[in-house]
Amino acid sequence: MSDAALPQWRRRTTRAELGRWFGWLALVALFVFCWEIMTQDTIWAFVTDAPTQGADIVGRMLPPRWSYLNALWGPLWDTLNIATLGTLAAIVLGVPVAFLAARNTTPSVTFIRPLALLLIVASRSINAIIWALLLVSILGPGVLAGIIAIALRSIGFVAKLLYEAIEEIDHSQVEAVLATGASPAQVMDYAIVPQILPAFAGISVFRWDINIRESTVLGLVGAGGIGLQLEASLNVLAWPQVSLILVVILATVVVSEWVSARVRHAVI
Amino acid sequence: MSEAAAYPSTWRRPPAIERPLLRWGLVAGAVLYLVLAVGSLEVNWLRVYEGLERGWRFVAGFLHPNFTDRWEDIAIGMQESLTMTVTSTAVGILLSIPVGIGAARNLAPAPVYYVCRAFIAVARSFQEIIVAILFVAMVGFGPFAGFLTLSFATIGFMGKLLAEDIEDIDEAQAEAIRATGASWLQLINYGIQPQVMPRLIGLSLYRLDINFRESAVVGIVGAGGIGATLNTALDRYEYDSAAAILILIIVIVMIAEYSSSYLRKFLQ
Amino acid sequence: MLRLQGLTKRYPTGDLALNGVDLEVPAGQVVGLIGPSGAGKSTLIRCINRLVEPTAGSVFLKDEELTRLRGAALRRSRRRMGMIFQEYALVERLTVMENVLSGRLGYVGFWRSYLRRFPPADIARAFGTLDRVGLREFVDKRADALSGGQRQRVGIARALQQEPDLLLVDEPTASLDPKTSRQIMRLLREVCAERSLATIINIHDVALAQMFVQRIVGLRQGVVVYDGAPEGLTPEVLTRIYGEEDWTRSIRRDDDDEASPPVIEEACLEGLT
């Protein structure tokens, strides 16, 4: 029996194989095209020089100026407040939006739901620091602009995850409460809220954790917190202070992530 | 059934936290924190009041966005943002695969594991904008610094999620492949890849979306992209041009979200 | 007690789930509603308490017509109809007591229910009902900590807490093992006798239905094709309801010990914990 007589096995048909190759080729072509456009003004001498520059900066950064730590407690407190108060505000505003956006709780699928979804995508598309840039230009620099910026960015995040959780609830529990003759508000309280409460707590704490990280940089555009010190130190090229600030940020973020993981673990 | 009098007529829901001291301690702590946090807010209400007029101008700008006056700048910014997004996502994902494998406890030897985990922790802790500042200092202004920043952030993000996915795989399947005498690379290819691939594709599309949003931010510190245009517009109080840029960002994010959910369905 | 006239339901998809159903259930009678999947059993009982809106026909509870009611009037009529579900439909993250008390939601205002400050009589009644279904010890347990049979008992307690005139029971045993199924059916039969409730039980298991109900209604494609005593379920009748199959083995034999009329048995509380 010759080899040709044996049945051949191939993972894909020729057509599928061709399609895959074409897909990959298109991706590579897109990458090369974008790369060419992006780097047309790049000065390669600077890029090749980067390792030396990087080593130089690291050399200047070390050792961190530990004594500067005492000047950072105030800004750190502000950073914490921006994240926490901003998250709280986002929760207060985001929860109603979530109920308006969820298919099973919205008062109107044709009018209100698309509006709520638009609000969510608008809030999610714009980064907190851009909101901060805008708010500093409107309200002036300060912690308030930071809080509002964090809140505006987080509304969409909280509302999106929460409305997905609302849409996934077990409908039979709602039916059961409805069948007892409960009013809509009671159905909300007895059938819907208990089902989404764990998701709600998880989402809130998760966003708080992200917001801690975001609020460390809001100061760069004047919206308060430890970013202000970073900006000031960068302006005078005080690299040892920069490195200390980076260490403090790293520690804060690690701690907040740990807290958030613990809380989420506790509520689920 | 009739001797209802024999049954207690009061009932209290058991509290969520059993120990009263802990329960009230947490409540008191939260209240105290809120009082202190709100108390430490320093708001210049006069400045805020003056800002309201600019706020209205911004809202008006949103209703009548001005795409034409700054179209040149907007086009260049958008081109930089989009190309930066594509290239950094591709490079970031490619590099995140070895990092992710290295950070999976069930695949990597201990020293590799710790190095990769530490790298991921650092990459995730620093907001993109801080990383961008450092890269701008190293390679100079322009989209190349932005590209490096977003690639770096992508490695941290994808690496962590990929590592978690690999750690969560069904061990039995990997065992079965190992039992055939497969090499380490064959194990990855046959035992691991099929299990994590679908989610990896989904996450890649999600990260593409995030990278675009972040590309609007890194421009604020000179790393190229639409953020620089936006910053200039806001500095000059040109709220109608700023609104036009924000609307463009929102629209592109919306398109990306819709097409990625479509693409995900198509690929499955 | 309950009277259905020409009850019809057509879903927006075009499926005719109920086609002119006429049915009368007197107080104290337990009716078993059987029929193949998709025959409209669930739709029928949901049309009675209007979880599903009937397309045509009318529903009379005592002498009140229910299909035109809206808002508060609909809620007042719903509290007269207790409903028990296939997958128990307890609010899993609430305690057993809260689930039972939720049967009183139609009677108390929002703030009272929100603060869980139900009238003392309601609470005493809830303790009584829980005692009746054998779950006195589980008052403060969360519903998701209970076994299937225990959850269904809480479901029954919640329905009884409404002090209903009518019980609508949707596949009460579909998720339970055979022994627990019998216990639940026995409990249902007893409480209906105690309180002379009109009851409609949707059920898949023909033999189980024959054991515990006084009257069988067979539904096929939204039409009543059999209405009579459980003993009248001959293979021909079952073929009319379900279609062709060898039925001889799934019909209860006459010497089955459960054939006797409803008796309250101590045994129904066995194996609870």
Please name which of B136, B34, C203, C82 lies closest in space to residue A234, comparing C-alpha atoms: B136
Query: Which residue has tokens 């936006």?
Result: B230
Measured CA to CA, the distance from residue B3 to residue B251 in angstroms comes to 68
Examine the domain organization and report whether A81 and A25 are in the same domain.
no
Give the domain extent around B93.
Answer: 69-267
B254 contacts in A (CB within 8 Å)?
121, 125
Q: Kindly state whether residue A62 falls inside one of the protein's structural domains.
A: no
Measured CA to CA, the distance from residue A187 to residue C68 in angstroms comes to 22
Examine the domain organization and report whether B28 and B156 are in the same domain.
no
Examine the domain organization and report whether A151 and A20 are in the same domain.
no
Cross-chain CB nearest to B86 (options A34, A122, A130): A34
Q: Kindly state whether residue A69 falls inside one of the protein's structural domains.
A: no
Measured CA to CA, the distance from residue B223 to residue B129 in angstroms comes to 9
Output the CA–CA distances (angstroms, integers) from residue C139 to B223, C90, C122, C221, in the order listed.
Answer: 62, 14, 14, 42
Find out whether C55 and C48 touch, Cβ atoms under 8 Å. no
Angle value at C-alpha B75, between A139 and B241, nearest 5 degrees: 30
Which burial class, exposed, middle or buried, applies to B145 when counting CB atoms under 10 A from its CB (0-12, 13-18, 19+)?
buried
Find out whether C62 and C165 touch, Cβ atoms under 8 Å. yes
B12 touches C: beta carbon within 8 Å: yes
Examine the domain organization and report whether B104 and B209 are in the same domain.
yes
Sign of the alpha-carbon dihedral angle for A171, A172, A173, A176: positive
pLDDT class for B1, splitting at 50, 70, 90?
very low
Examine the domain organization and report whether B113 and B181 are in the same domain.
yes
B4 touches C: beta carbon within 8 Å: yes
Q: Kindly state whether residue A78 falls inside one of the protein's structural domains.
A: yes
Q: What is the pLDDT of residue C260?
A: 42
Whether pLDDT at B206 is above 80: yes
| Structure token pair of residue C1 | 């007690």
Q: What is the pLDDT of residue A109?
A: 85
Dump strand ranges (E) for chain A. Answer: none
Cross-chain CB nearest to B14 (options C123, C132, C140): C140
What is the distance, to the nearest Å, from the Cα of residue B4 to the centroid of all Cα atoms in its chain?
Answer: 58
The number of folded domains in chain B is 2
Find out whether B107 and B192 touch, Cβ atoms under 8 Å. yes
Find out whether B78 and B226 touch, Cβ atoms under 8 Å. yes
**What digits encode the pLDDT tens for the residues B156-196?**
999 988 888 888 877 778 778 888 878 888 888 887 787 78
Chain mean pLDDT for chain A: 86
Whether pLDDT at A230 is above 50: yes
Examine the domain organization and report whether B198 and B100 are in the same domain.
yes
Measured CA to CA, the distance from residue C217 to residue C201 in angstroms comes to 10
| Structure token pair of residue B7 | 């049954």
Give the domain extent around A26.
Answer: 11-47
What does the DSSP assignment read for C80-97? TEEEE-TT----TTSBHH
C264 touches B: beta carbon within 8 Å: no
Q: Kindly state whether residue A142 falls inside one of the protein's structural domains.
A: yes
**Helix B71-102 × helix B226-235 angle, to 10°:** 130
Q: Which of B13-22, B35-44, B82-91 has the highest mean pLDDT?
A: B82-91
B16 touches C: beta carbon within 8 Å: no
Query: B139 and A249: CB-CB below 8 Å?
Result: no
Q: Kindly state whether residue A209 falls inside one of the protein's structural domains.
A: yes
Length of chain C: 273
Q: Kindly state whether residue B6 falls inside one of the protein's structural domains.
A: no
Those of residues 134-173 in A touching chain C at CB distance below 8 A are: 170, 172-173
Examine the domain organization and report whether A177 and A228 are in the same domain.
yes
Chosen from C91, C94, C97 to mutate, greatest number of chain B CBs within 10 A? C97
DSSP structure class, residue C142: B
Examine the domain organization and report whether B48 and B104 are in the same domain.
no
Q: What is the dihedral of CA A224, A230, A233, A239, to 10 degrees?
A: 170
Examine the domain organization and report whether B45 and B143 are in the same domain.
no
Find out whether C32 and C213 touch, Cβ atoms under 8 Å. yes
Examine the domain organization and report whether B95 and B151 are in the same domain.
yes
Domain boundary among B38, B59, B80: B59
**What digits encode the pLDDT tens for the residues A16-47?**
788 888 888 988 888 888 888 877 777 777 77
Q: What is the pLDDT of residue A17?
A: 81
Please name which of B127, B125, B124, B152 lies closest in space to residue B138, comparing C-alpha atoms: B152
Q: What is the pLDDT of residue B243?
A: 87
CATH number for the domain harbouring residue A157: 1.10.3720.10
Q: Kindly state whether residue B76 falls inside one of the protein's structural domains.
A: yes
Measured CA to CA, the distance from residue C131 to residue C138 in angstroms comes to 10
Q: What is the pLDDT of residue C35?
A: 87
Examine the domain organization and report whether A31 and A130 are in the same domain.
no
Q: What is the pLDDT of residue C249?
A: 67
Measured CA to CA, the distance from residue C9 to residue C53 in angstroms comes to 8
Q: Kindly state whether residue A53 falls inside one of the protein's structural domains.
A: no
β pairing state of C30-34 and C166-170: unpaired
Whether pLDDT at A104 is above 60: yes
Whether pLDDT at B59 is above 80: yes
Examine the domain organization and report whether A149 and A197 are in the same domain.
yes
Query: Which residues, including other chains, have CB under 8 Å from residue A237's CB and lie 6 or more apart?
Result: none
Examine the domain organization and report whether A170 and A220 are in the same domain.
yes
Query: A185 and C110: CB-CB below 8 Å?
Result: yes
Residue pairs between chains B and C whose CB atoms are closer than 8 Å? 36
Q: Kindly state whether residue A229 falls inside one of the protein's structural domains.
A: yes
Examine the domain organization and report whether A18 and A130 are in the same domain.
no
Query: Which residue has tokens 């950070």?
Result: B103
Which helix (H) or strand (E) segment holds residue C169: the answer is: strand C166-170
Q: What is the pLDDT of residue A160?
A: 92
Sign of the alpha-carbon dihedral angle for A79, A158, A184, A267: negative
Examine the domain organization and report whether A41 and A78 are in the same domain.
no
Q: Kindly state whether residue A56 falls inside one of the protein's structural domains.
A: no
**What digits encode the pLDDT tens for the residues B113-133?**
899 888 888 888 888 888 888
Helix (H, G, I), strand (E, B) or coil at B64: coil
Q: What is the pLDDT of residue A83?
A: 92
Find out whether C80 and A173 touch, Cβ atoms under 8 Å. no
Query: A189 and C76: CB-CB below 8 Å?
Result: no
Measured CA to CA, the distance from residue C192 to residue C1 in angstroms comes to 13
Domain spans of chain C, in order of start: 2-269
Q: What is the pLDDT of residue B151?
A: 92
In order along its 273 residues, chain C shows pLDDT tens digits of 888 888 898 888 888 888 888 999 988 889 999 888 888 888 898 999 888 888 888 899 888 888 888 888 888 889 889 999 888 888 888 899 999 999 899 898 888 888 888 899 899 999 988 988 888 888 888 888 888 889 999 999 999 999 999 999 998 888 888 888 888 999 998 988 888 889 999 988 888 888 888 899 988 888 888 888 888 888 888 888 887 777 776 666 554 444 444 433 333 444 333
Examine the domain organization and report whether A112 and A159 are in the same domain.
yes
Which helix (H) or strand (E) segment holds residue A200: the answer is: helix A193-215
Q: What is the pLDDT of residue C251?
A: 66
Helix, strand and coil content of chain A, in percent to the nearest 5, comes to 80, 0, 20
C3 touches A: beta carbon within 8 Å: no
Q: What is the pLDDT of residue C176?
A: 86
Q: Kindly state whether residue B2 falls inside one of the protein's structural domains.
A: no
Cross-chain CB nearest to A180 (options C78, C93, C110): C78
Q: What is the pLDDT of residue C263?
A: 39
Distance (Å) from the alpha carbon of A175 to chain C's nearest alpha carbon:
7
Query: B40 and A127: CB-CB below 8 Å?
Result: no
C110 touches A: beta carbon within 8 Å: yes
Measured CA to CA, the distance from residue C150 to residue C158 in angstroms comes to 12
Examine the domain organization and report whether B47 and B108 are in the same domain.
no
Find out whether B57 and A144 touch, Cβ atoms under 8 Å. no
Q: What is the pLDDT of residue C272?
A: 38
Measured CA to CA, the distance from residue B116 to residue B94 in angstroms comes to 15
Find out whether A121 and A163 touch, Cβ atoms under 8 Å. no
Whether pLDDT at B16 is above 50: yes
Examine the domain organization and report whether A161 and A260 are in the same domain.
yes
Q: What is the pLDDT of residue A4?
A: 58
Examine the domain organization and report whether A20 and A132 are in the same domain.
no
Please name which of C257, C235, C255, C237 lies closest in space to residue C246, comparing C-alpha atoms: C235
The number of folded domains in chain A is 2
A185 touches C: beta carbon within 8 Å: yes
Query: A182 and C102: CB-CB below 8 Å?
Result: yes
Length of chain A: 268
Is B261 or C157 the better-scoring residue by pLDDT?
C157
**What digits encode the pLDDT tens for the residues A176-211?**
999 998 998 999 999 999 999 888 988 899 899 899
Write out the CATH class of domain C2-269: alpha beta
Chosen from A180, A193, A197, A267 to mutate, greatest number of chain C CBs within 10 A? A180
Q: What is the pLDDT of residue B227?
A: 85
Measured CA to CA, the distance from residue C151 to residue C138 in angstroms comes to 11
What does the DSSP assignment read for C212-236? H-SEEEEEETTEEEEEE-GGG--HH
Helix (H, G, I), strand (E, B) or coil at C159: helix
Output the CA–CA distances (angstroms, integers) from residue B147 to A31, A40, B100, C44, C117, in the order listed.
Answer: 13, 13, 20, 62, 60
Examine the domain organization and report whether A32 and A98 are in the same domain.
no
Q: What are phi and psi of C17, to 5 degrees?
A: -85, -35
Question: What percentage of chain A carries pLDDT values higher than 90?
Answer: 29
Find out whether C17 and C222 touch, Cβ atoms under 8 Å. yes
Which helix (H) or strand (E) segment holds residue A222: the answer is: none
Please name which of B243, B214, B198, B193 lies closest in space to residue B55, comparing C-alpha atoms: B243
Helix ranges (H only) for chain C are: 41-48, 71-78, 96-101, 110-114, 120-132, 148-161, 178-195, 206-212, 235-242
CATH number for the domain harbouring residue B154: 1.10.3720.10
What does the DSSP assignment read for B127-166? -HHHHHHHHHHHH-SSHHHHHHHHHHHHHHHHHHHHHHHH
Interval A235-251 mean pLDDT: 88
Residue type at position C120? P
Examine the domain organization and report whether B138 and B172 are in the same domain.
yes
Question: In chain C, what is the greatest distance between 2 CA atoms, to the nearest angstrom?
Answer: 57
C113 touches A: beta carbon within 8 Å: yes
Measured CA to CA, the distance from residue A238 to residue A65 in angstroms comes to 9
Q: Order of strands, edge to edge, in the sheet holding C223-228? A: C81-84, C166-170, C198-202, C30-34, C215-220, C223-228
pLDDT class for A174, splitting at 50, 70, 90?
very high
**Helix A239-267 × helix A226-235 angle, to 10°:** 160
β pairing state of C30-34 and C215-220: parallel
